[in-house]
Structures are given as structure tokens and as C-alpha cells.
Amino acid sequence: MSSSENSTAEGPGRLISHFQTRYASDMSVQILKYQAEPRRTRDTQNLGWSDLWDTDQSDLWDRGKPSPALIDFVEEQRDILPVRHCGRPLRMLVPGCGRGYDVVMLALHGFDVWGLEISETAVKIATAYAESELANPSDCNFGNVEAKTQYKHGKVKFVTGDFFKRDWESECSVDGGTQFHLIYDYTFLCAILPEMRANWARRMDELLTKSGLLVCLEFPLYKSVEVVGPPWGLKGVYWNLLAKGGNGIMRDCDQEKGPEEISKGTFERLLRFKPARSYPNGKGTDM
């Protein structure tokens, strides 16, 4: 997110204002039609993100390069990754992939990667970026020089679709299978409405193989979970959703309870660490 991502004394930033305006507009229409529908809906959210792409406002969140934390993870923590089946590349999904920086970087490290976006405009931009970058990879895709020639490049495909629906999954089919060995989430969970979080966790469970791995770069952790987004604060949210099986709707006071509570979720935490490198906007709190 840009420096204008959070609410300030002068008012909300551009990104938050964009969605607040859309929600208010939808409510006006609902009142005129005498409908008592929720103000914030998934459709409104999807259209809001698509509009930002169509009006060339991706600068609000675009980082211009793949995640340094993810690069270090795939280069230094490969022993934790699922075992390859019959020598085939691991299948990986990046929902809310944006311009495809992480998708391409992962393919350059030997994964077959699918990038999912709600916007057709984003998919076109990402496809063009991938074609150029795969032909002549930039150094920013690697943590060390040796990695640049160490891996056989995987495949890349970008798909337009709603993560919460299943109609796009057929475009990711390989030998009839549509599940993934790994899924990476960075700024996807923090971009969706809090009331969509439980479904986010359910979909992650559906899309991963039994031995699959969900890799999450937790951001933003410096922001109160009670402050409006996007980006929505996520401190404690991943644990609540994945390990405890909660709905992800948190208050700041919930943080005091800690992760020692009994786990009832469908996910088991294998590793949590503070990356040595990450984007500056994480303010040193990314995990």
C-alpha cells in the first residue's frame, strides 16, 4: 500500500476513501429500491478492485518487485516444502497476484505457478510482465546470484476469477487435478472484508492438497484490527482463522490471549519467523 494507505487526522487515505465511496453509493441505490441488503458485499468489493485496475491506480499498492521475504523463504527453507511427485514441479497459487511479480519469481525458482486476479486488466498486465521477465529475468527475483541458474523454470498462467467461486479452477487443471501444493498470501487477506475471512480459510483448505502448504506473509501487523481498511490489520487473525478455526473477526484486546489456546482449526503451524528482509511498508513487523 502507498503512504496514503491509512486513515490520518486529515481523513482516510485514497484506497480507503475509494471503497467507502463505493459502499455509500451502493447503499443509496439499495435505499431507493427499498432493499435491506448489507452495505458491504463481495460484489462491491470485487468491482472496487477492478475499477482501480481499469483506472490505472495500482500505484496504491504496487511494490514494483517480488517479495524479498518470499524469495529468501523459497531459497533458504526448501526443506519444509512438500515433496515433489514423480519429479514434477510443485503447483503453486498466488491469489490477488497483481502484476505477477511473485508469480514470475516463483516460476524462476522451479514452481508451476498460477496467478489469480479479479480484474481482466490486471491479468493482461501480469501476462505481459511475465513474458518479458521470463525471457530475461531481473536480479531482483533472486536472493543470491547462484539461484539465477540453479532452477529449471516452471510454467506461469494468469487466471481471471473470484477466489471464493469455483468456476476458475478448471483453468488450473493438470491431469484432472485442481488442487495446489502451495498457496502464497501476502496482501490478499488484508484486502478483503473481515466478514469474508472465514470463507477465505475454507477456500484455502479446499484448494490445498492434503500435504499442501499455506505460506503467509503477515501484513499489516502494526495496524489495529479495529481500524477500517483496506489494508485491514491482521495481528492475530491468521492464528484465529487457521489454527483455532475462528471467524477472523478480532478486537485489539483479543491479542492478549496469545496462541496457547487449544487449536481447533484445520491447519497446523509448521514454522513462523520474522523475515530478515521485507517491504519497508511492513514497518519491521511482517512475519
Same domain, 153 and 213: yes
Q: What is the DSSP letter of 236?
A: T
CA 45 to chain CA mean position, Å: 15
Digit-coded pLDDT (tens) for 215-264: 999 999 999 999 988 999 999 999 999 999 999 998 887 764 555 556 67
Digit-coded pLDDT (tens) for 168-199: 999 999 888 899 999 999 989 999 999 999 99
Does residue 270 sit within a domain?
A: yes
60: left (phi over 0), alpha (psi -120 to 50) or beta: alpha
Is residue 104 within 8 A of residue 141, CB to CB? The reply is yes
Q: Alpha-carbon distance 90 to 212, whole Å? A: 10
Q: Alpha-carbon distance 102 to 94, whole Å? A: 8
Same domain, 196 and 154: yes
Half-sphere exposure of 160 (CA within 13 A, CB side): 12
Same domain, 160 and 235: yes
Q: With a threshold of 0.85, does the pTM exceed it?
A: yes
Same domain, 28 and 157: no
Same domain, 160 and 54: no
Does residue 6 sit within a domain?
A: no
The Cα angle at residue 2 between residues 191 and 248, in degrees rounded to 5: 25
CATH number for position 266:
3.40.50.150
Does residue 4 sit within a domain?
A: no
Same domain, 213 and 101: yes
Number of domains observed in the structure of the chain: 2
Q: Which amino acid is at 99?
A: R
| First vs last C-alpha separation in the chain | 17
